[in-house]
Structure 1
Amino acid sequence: MTDVEIHGTVHRGFEAVAEAMAANFVDPGEVGAAAAAFVEGEAIVDIWAGRARPEVPWARDTIVPVFSATKGAAALVIHVLADRGALDIQAPIARYWPEFAQHGKESVTVEHVLTHTSGVLRVDDYLPRIGDGEFLNDLDRIADTISACRPDFEPGSRVAYQAVTYGYILGEVVRRVDGRTLGKVWREEIAEPFGIDFWIGLPPEEHNRVAELYDAPPPQEPAVQFYLAMFTPDTLQGQAMMVDQGGFLKMADRANDPAALTAEIPAAGGVGSAVAMATWYAILANGGALHGRRLVTGESIATHSKERSTGNDLVSMMDSRFALGYALPTPLSPYVHIEHAFGHSGFGGSVGFADPSRRLSFGYAMNQLRLPAPDEVTRAERLITALYESL
């Protein structure tokens, strides 16, 4: 596609963002995508282009799986509950979930999970059940499975990305302290009050709006070695990422599965739009309130967005920096040059973040998955650069 029509609205002076979106359809080649940006709580960019499914154009209400960009939503649920005094970030998980203390996990805190330093990386027998809708919706069974896990290292001693366990552990903590699932708290306390079209557990009646994902092409050098360990299920990296042989090249089929769309997978199962991500990060970029409605305090945003862990990540094999659930800029993040940004990206290219220093937020979502090389300018990064150059 070389002559794509960009739909939506762009405020005067920000036309370069739409031009950057159009350029993505030429190189590296998008199928369908959307982008949104807010400044001081006002939407200055809300655009989309391409197709959601064969013969179905992308629309403003198209939603799409965004993989680990979901972690930012899960972090916000914890942020809200902590801000309201419902849980203590410093407390051991076992205070709320006593069974979790098995096999040396009694010292793992909520903060350890949020900062990817818990050491609880792998879930036995999870991989064969990924397509089992009954298992994915049995949160009691999943909690029992995680309770029986052993940490791979002393909690707090190093950084290791919890691709899947992050969400299930936090989700069970939410169930124990609130009584609702994390997805339901998200829906009732955040998404519905602020009009955010993002779901952690998508009802079947909403499935007709979901864009079809397309698998990432095989990576080229120098990215091959970078991803190789994550392609194989007999490595720590592959097991933490819950992939089977070549799993990263088959992620679209998994995420397109109605069972995965419906299940609450708080680390990687969110489904929503670019403007949805930009909206919840607009709350955080503007002191905790948007359009006259407050969600969290400004003081808690400063606490939750401060760096808590850093180092070479045992799973991603990259330098990582984490606040309380939010990823901070690193050389490989789409918002690498935004000093005060915090947010989260997702497998294949989706991303959302807040920049309180500019009172700015951004979201990008697409359906063509890609595995970028370590030094490659990503599609989202191209739009982010255009956005900041337009300020």
Structure 2
Amino acid sequence: MYEIHGVCEPRYNAVREAFARNFEQGRELGASLAVYQRGRPVVELWGGRASRTTGWRRDTIALLASATKGLVATAAMVLVDQGRLNLDAPIADYWPEFAVSGKAKIPLRWVLGHRSGVVTVDPPLTMGDIGQNGAVSRALAAARPAWMPGQAHGYHCLTMGWLVGEVVRRVTGQSVQRFFATEIAAPLGVDLHIGLPADSDRKVADLVPPTVEQLLKGRDDPELTGLNRAICDPGSLFHRSTFGSIAMKGDLLAAACIPQAEMPSFGGAGNAAGLARMYAALIGEVDGVRLLRPETADRARTVEASGMDLVLRCHTSYGRGFMLPGGPMWPGSCSPTAFGHAGVTGVFAYADPDHEVGFAYVPNRMTELIEGGDARVRHLVEATHRCAAT
């Protein structure tokens, strides 16, 4: 039996029921869920196990995997809102060393929209490189695009966070981790981090991979046939841009557990309450804090790329650093104006400007899909959409 803790306004009871049902039907181990509407919390729930010996608590955090890209995108769009970054300016304007190998004209929005082609690192980075000041930026400056920049799109699995992070560092003098912590997390008072906090061991939930049965079921989706083939092909662009770009043994997420490792594409940590609050502050005011002006929020969700993804080999849609509805990576039906990000840990978070909603779900049982989108989160997204629209 799993006890659900927290609060839920009566109008959102269907969301609480969907959250509880995930546990009752054996889909869930531990998780947190939060919804903001019109700048205030209407749902904050948690339950289950954070580890074999501890229950999930209100302050439990978990690894966010690629949902960390939403934090990086937020940092970039805050700088755009402040007039310190220009989406249309070549990255080389901020980072001159980047201008080689056909990359001189790549604008920031092509990286945020996964159109730059800079998706692989050859030779692959080692953990020593990642921990060494400047080694990653030098490798990316020397990298060659995998396709003609701007002519196609493909998920920048590892490189998006490093590329945007280097631009942020050039403009602010701070790492993207530090900028996010001081300019976004602190004003909002959220337990969200790009990188794992050194003092967080006591409250980080243990990740549990999906079973073989769950993985096989997750791969039944015909929309994911191309992706499933790419996962098994060492020569595929998916394989080359993930396992072929970091020289390490075991799961890439193991590296995200090293506090000093700066992996802004997938190394973040946090809880649903913090994520939902951040996404709510992207589209409205939350306790006096609004991260973006309305016109900048509109730019964040403007379609930058849509169609066949050369890396994931399925339909994807991207705005400026955020996933957009459409294709198998976006779970469930919701407003067409929504924008957010998923992660392989099962995390999913988004903002819905139409209904003034910030939503986040953070579990510790990893998804059977490559980026979120499984039945657990689909049920929660659809219940939230129905409740918000009434």
Please indicate, yes or no, whether the TM-score normalized by the shorter chain is above 0.5.
yes
**Residue matched to 2:157:** 163
**Residue matched to 1:345:** 342
Deviation at 1:339, TM superposition (A): 1.4
The 5 A counterparts of 1:107-146 are 107-126=105-124, 129=126, 132=127, 134-146=128-140
Contact residue 231 and residue 243 of structure 1 kept, 8 A = no
Moved more, 304-313 or 154-163: 304-313
**Residue matched to 2:196:** 202
**Residue matched to 1:368:** 365
The 5 A counterparts of 1:213-292 are 213-218=207-212, 219-220=215-216, 221-223=219-221, 225=225, 226-242=227-243, 250=251, 253-255=254-256, 257=257, 259=258, 261-286=259-284, 289-292=285-288
**Residue matched to 2:306:** 310
Change over 3 Å in CA distance of 1:232–1:52 after alignment to 2: farther
Deviation at 1:54, TM superposition (A): 1.2
Change over 3 Å in CA distance of 1:231–1:276 after alignment to 2: farther
Question: Aligned letter for 2:22?
Answer: N
Change over 3 Å in CA distance of 1:173–1:335 after alignment to 2: farther
Q: 2:177 aligns with which of 183, 204, 211?
A: 183
Structure 2 Cα separation of the partners of residues 313 and 28 of structure 1: 33
The 5 A counterparts of 1:31-110 are 31-110=29-108
Structure 2 Cα separation of the partners of residues 195 and 63 of structure 1: 14
Question: Aligned letter for 1:93?
Answer: I
Contact residue 61 and residue 273 of structure 1 kept, 8 A = yes
Deviation at 1:231, TM superposition (A): 4.0
**Residue matched to 1:22:** 20
Contact residue 372 and residue 378 of structure 1 kept, 8 A = no
Question: Aligned letter for 1:77?
Answer: A
Structure 2 Cα separation of the partners of residues 26 and 124 of structure 1: 46
1:82 is paired with a residue whose SS is: helix
How many residue pairs get aligned? The number is 379
Aligned-pair identity (%):
34
Structure 2 Cα separation of the partners of residues 385 and 298 of structure 1: 25
Structure 2 Cα separation of the partners of residues 217 and 154 of structure 1: 39
Structure 2 unmatched ranges of 5 or more:
none
Question: Aligned letter for 1:354?
Answer: A
Structure 2 Cα separation of the partners of residues 346 and 74 of structure 1: 14
1:30 is paired with a residue whose SS is: coil
Q: 1:324 aligns with which of 320, 325, 330?
A: 320
Structure 1 Cα separation of the partners of residues 279 and 379 of structure 2: 19
Deviation at 1:27, TM superposition (A): 3.4
Change over 3 Å in CA distance of 1:29–1:252 after alignment to 2: farther
Deviation at 1:252, TM superposition (A): 5.4
Deviation at 1:331, TM superposition (A): 3.2
RMSD: 2.4
Contact residue 91 and residue 167 of structure 2 kept, 8 A = yes
Structure 1 unmatched ranges of 5 or more:
none
TM-score normalized by the length of structure 1: 0.91
Structure 2 Cα separation of the partners of residues 178 and 9 of structure 1: 39
TM-score normalized by the length of structure 2: 0.91
